[in-house]
Homo-oligomer: A and B are copies of this chain.
Amino acid sequence: MELEAAKLKYIQTWGSLATSWGINKTMAQVHALLLVAVEPLSADAIMETLKISRGNVNMNVRALIDWGIVKKEFVPGERKEFFVADKDIWELFKQVTKERKRREIEPVLKVLDELQNDVTATTEEAQQFKALMKDLSSVTNTVNGILEKAIKADEHWLLSSFTKMIKK
A interface with B by C-beta (< 8 Å): 1-3, 6-7, 9-10, 13-14, 17, 19-23, 35-36, 38, 87, 89-90, 92-93, 103-105, 108, 111-112, 115, 118-121, 123, 125-126, 128-129, 132-133, 135-136, 138-139, 142-143, 145-146, 148-149, 158-159, 162-163, 165-166
Contact = CB atoms under 8 A, between A and B. Distances in A.
Nearest to A134: B89
Given A10-B115, A36-B129, A93-B139, 11 more contacts: A1-B115, A3-B121, A3-B129, A6-B129, A17-B104, A35-B132, A38-B125, A89-B132, A89-B138, A93-B143, A138-B159
A10 B126 contact: no
A108 B13 contact: yes
Contacts of A125: 3, 38
Stoichiometry, as copies per complex, reads: 2
Given A87-B132, A133-B10, A1 B119 contact: yes
A139 B17 contact: no
Contact of A120 (B1, B103, B132, B159): B1
Contacts of A148: 166
A103 B41 CA distance: 33
Contacts of A36: 129, 132
A36 B22 CA distance: 25
Given A115-B10, A165-B165, A89 B139 contact: yes
Nearest to A120: B1
A145 to B, nearest CB: 5
